[in-house]
Structure 1
Amino acid sequence: MKLAVIGGGSTYTPELVDGLARLRDVLPVEELALMDPAADRLGPVGGLARRILARQGHPARITTTGDLEAAVDGADAVLLQLRVGGQAARENDETWPLECGCVGQETTGAGGLAKALRTVPVVLDIAERVRRANPDAWIVDFTNPVGIVTRALLTAGHRAVGLCNVAVGFQYRFAAMLGVRPEQVELDHVGLNHLTWERGVRVDGQEVLPRLLAEHGERIAGLLHMPLPVIARLGVVPSYYLRYFYAHDEVVRQLRTGPSRASEVAATERRLLEMYADPTLDEKPELLGTRGGAHYSEAAVALTAALLGRTGVPEEPGVPEEPEGRGGAGAVRNVQVVNTFNNGTLPFLPDDAVVEVPAAVGPSGAVPLPVAPLEPLYAGLVSAVTTYEHLALEAALHGGRDRVFDALLAHPLVGQFEYAEKLTDRLVAHNRDHLAWA
């Protein structure tokens, strides 16, 4: 089995490699191809990856290359974790929106739109080359903004599923708070990528969310950087990204006074790459935990294994077997939170919207499981952001200042004519090198 990672020079990669080593019975990879045009990153990352596997006695071969075709040739699955424009582009995404009084963030608002415009054309080109190399290969997208990028891939007919670590992160944190194993925890996770709520938390089938909030509310509020009374009032656990909507003006004030997250991440990455270059280091360093992406490896391994029909993935009770089709009759499916087509899951959204919900995953793809009707308090925001994502994808696919403006005007974090005009000008000016139409 061959797995290719596009953006393999990412400092996330040792997290993934560590997971592949620990979970070798679930996903027995024989070759891991790390592809990245940045040789200065790929060298130290690839070296550490080999040492991690050697330390844990994993026999897989690791190859490093800047050649996309070589990386995806023969790959059964391709993971996308790239950042078009690097950390410098992220720094811009988090800076110029603040000049207009709007949140500067790399996955939502005006900064998130800029990232989508840079990323979608590149990802679609990669996906076409993957399809030519191996039409049956699965694409697992970890590249932000995951919802928009996944929608682009699925709309173009690619075998793709979007992945985010928010749900698995909650699963592990809640398990630690409750003193249970992560696999005992089941989440009622619903919404869009980076716009989700945990409406229920079950341990061995028993609802424990009220107890969780009562006993650990302060800790959860601290993790989310939200006031405890807000979380208590909602009675759910919103994702960290909801703070940009629920406390927009306060967040803007904070972002204007402190160092950007991009500058902090860039500093962390420089230190990590120095550490990775140390030939004595043979495990992922603790510092990597501050980079973000915690438990990405567990989610990525489980999702890839299920897509490739690995029966080592534990079968969830009550989940139907895979119907006759590409995966064959009786192939095991397993429930995971992923990004995929809505297809009626949230009836107020179009079928081709991409939602982030639990889905039964198998060799034929991801099938969202039924969810309870989404409360109006959340459905309105989900509907508005879905409209924005549709317009953002139109702008990414077809270009044009008017399309950029329309997407910004539709976004709940912008929504004013004057702001949309200013943000459009700044977005185009800062991203001209990445926009073929500009």
Structure 2
Amino acid sequence: MRLTILGGGGFRVPLVYGALLTDRGEGRVTEVVLHDLDAGRLHAVARVLAEQASATGDAPRVTATTDLDEALRGADFVFSAIRVGGLEGRADDERVALAEGVLGQETVGAGGIAYGLRTVPVAVDIARRVARLAPDAWVINFTNPAGLVTEAMSRHLGDRVIGICDSPVGLGRRIARVLGADPKQAWIDYVGLNHLGWVRGLRVAGRDELPRLLADPALLGSFEEGKLFGADWLRSLGAIPNEYLHYYYFNREAVHSYQQAERTRGAFLRDQQARFYAEVGNRGTRALELWDRTRAEREATYMAENRESAGAGERDADDLSGGYEKVALALMRAIARDERTTLILNVRNRHTLAALDPDAVIEVPCLVDASGAHPVAVDPLPGHAIGLVCSVKAVEREVLAAAESGSRATAVKAFALHPLVDSVNVARRLVEGYRAVHPGLDYLK
């Protein structure tokens, strides 16, 4: 099988390739095509992958190209992990929002809207090219904002585009570990949108173990989300929220912490990865060793401002391993080999959540087989959760409408309607601020 990775010069590509190296089964990926607009980054990542493959016989062959159409032709799977505007764009997203006193995180609030507005047109172009050049390919979308971008691409690819995220995987793993359960044997009742979901149950052998967790303050305080949100708030919710909901439930504290930080997350990653790509090109540099050190630092500082504002301390070592690459591999295996499995994915709603229309992309457990990913029926969300889901989905729809029409007024509406943007005037200033720093938003008139 041939896997094309868009954003093939991205820092996390070796995670995907490392997962492929563990797959020795029939019908595995035998060819990987890296595509990126930056030839230098492609070369750097190819060096890391070559060192990864050196200890593995019959590793998937790797080629690289800056020609998108060439990369797509003949693909069985397309993994999309592009970053429109690069990390400089992410840093600008954060800076412009924080100057207005609102959140600039890359997938949540003003920053997520700005990122979506410049990413959706590019993602739609990719979807159209896939439909023309590789109509039988399955697209696995990891490009953020993942739910929004998956929905944009689904309008051209239907159910052949599936969004993935490692947040629900990590959350379910942490809950199972605290309860002494095997994550592979647990059914995780998770529902919402990407970066906006809740675990409402964790069933082992038919028994829901989540009430036992919620009733034990010591257990609740022993893992990431318990430290972030606090045991009292989790018991009030009767569920365990995705870590990104910290931006909603503790927005004032999160914004203050980001404003006080020496550098925003985007600026930190921009500087860190600039050093990595510069150093990896030096003769004699051990590319894989350098990449491992850089990744460890990256993971250890994830959501550092939120943990600081909550007094949550350092991340546990078990939470530094990522996970999205394992979801991607499991998804490809299930489709290519009809190895039926259950994964939490971003797919079209169909009739899963009654409050949303069938084409709305949601994040829920799905049964996956050779015919794709099929969302599992879930119980209705409580009123506070469905209100937030509907509100954020309405904002996503305005982003899609603005990207399609090029309407500046619709873009302002998207910002103004978001729960974390508290003023129409702020929304107007945000649009102008983002248009000033992002050439990719010149289409908004």
| CA deviation after TM superposition for structure 1 residue 25, in Å | 2.5
| CA deviation after TM superposition for structure 1 residue 29, in Å | 0.8
Contact 1:103 1:413 in 2 (8 A): yes
1:263 lines up with 2:267 in the alignment: yes
1:228 lines up with 2:231 in the alignment: yes
1: CA distance between counterparts of 2:17 and 2:322? 13
Q: Could you list the per-position Cα deviations for residues 138-160 of structure 1 after superposition, in whole angstroms to 9, with x for gaps in the alignment?
A: 11110001111111111223421
Taking the TM superposition and a 5 Å limit, the aligned residue runs for 1:9-408 are 9-25=9-25, 28-158=28-158, 159-213=160-214, 214=216, 215-221=218-224, 225-258=228-261, 259-273=263-277, 280-282=286-288, 285=292, 287-291=294-298, 294-308=322-336, 310-311=337-338, 313=339, 333-408=340-415
| CA deviation after TM superposition for structure 1 residue 286, in Å | 5.1
| CA deviation after TM superposition for structure 1 residue 218, in Å | 1.4
| CA deviation after TM superposition for structure 1 residue 179, in Å | 4.3
2: CA distance between counterparts of 1:289 and 1:81? 20
| CA deviation after TM superposition for structure 1 residue 437, in Å | 3.9
Most deviating of 149-158 and 338-347 = 149-158
2: CA distance between counterparts of 1:115 and 1:76? 28
Q: Could you list the per-position Cα deviations for residues 72-91 of structure 1 after superposition, in whole angstroms to 9, with x for gaps in the alignment?
A: 22110000001000000000
Judged with a 3 Å threshold, the aligned counterparts in structure 2 of structure 1 residues 178 and 131 are, in CA distance, closer, same or farther, namely same
| CA deviation after TM superposition for structure 1 residue 254, in Å | 0.7
2: CA distance between counterparts of 1:296 and 1:221? 18
2: CA distance between counterparts of 1:89 and 1:294? 23
1: CA distance between counterparts of 2:79 and 2:106? 20
2: CA distance between counterparts of 1:290 and 1:23? 27
1: CA distance between counterparts of 2:46 and 2:226? 32
Most deviating of 119-128 and 151-160 = 151-160
Which amino acid is 2:193 matched to?
A: L
SS of aligned partner of 2:211: helix
1: CA distance between counterparts of 2:333 and 2:229? 36
Contact 1:197 1:238 in 2 (8 A): yes
2: CA distance between counterparts of 1:24 and 1:288? 26
| CA deviation after TM superposition for structure 1 residue 121, in Å | 0.9
2: CA distance between counterparts of 1:374 and 1:432? 40
Contact 2:220 2:231 in 1 (8 A): yes
Contact 1:31 1:61 in 2 (8 A): yes
1: CA distance between counterparts of 2:220 and 2:226? 10
Structure 2 unaligned blocks of 5 or more: 300-320
Q: RMSD over aligned Cα, in angstroms?
A: 2.2
1: CA distance between counterparts of 2:412 and 2:202? 39
Which amino acid is 2:324 matched to?
A: Y
Which amino acid is 1:229 matched to?
A: D
2: CA distance between counterparts of 1:386 and 1:63? 38
Contact 1:195 1:382 in 2 (8 A): yes
Most deviating of 288-297 and 362-371 = 288-297
Most deviating of 179-188 and 146-155 = 179-188
SS of aligned partner of 1:285: helix
2: CA distance between counterparts of 1:353 and 1:154? 10
2: CA distance between counterparts of 1:266 and 1:22? 30
2: CA distance between counterparts of 1:24 and 1:413? 46
Most deviating of 132-141 and 289-298 = 289-298
Instruction: Tell me which residue corresponds to 1:432.
Output: 439
TM-score between the two structures when normalised by the length of structure 2: 0.88
| CA deviation after TM superposition for structure 1 residue 263, in Å | 1.7
Judged with a 3 Å threshold, the aligned counterparts in structure 2 of structure 1 residues 222 and 360 are, in CA distance, closer, same or farther, namely closer
SS of aligned partner of 1:89: helix
TM-score between the two structures when normalised by the length of structure 1: 0.89
| CA deviation after TM superposition for structure 1 residue 36, in Å | 0.8
Contact 1:221 1:227 in 2 (8 A): no
2: CA distance between counterparts of 1:402 and 1:430? 18
| CA deviation after TM superposition for structure 1 residue 44, in Å | 1.6
2: CA distance between counterparts of 1:36 and 1:142? 15
Judged with a 3 Å threshold, the aligned counterparts in structure 2 of structure 1 residues 274 and 217 are, in CA distance, closer, same or farther, namely farther
SS of aligned partner of 2:222: helix
Structure 1 unaligned blocks of 5 or more: 314-332
Judged with a 3 Å threshold, the aligned counterparts in structure 2 of structure 1 residues 373 and 26 are, in CA distance, closer, same or farther, namely farther
Instruction: Tell me which residue corresponds to 2:308.
Output: none
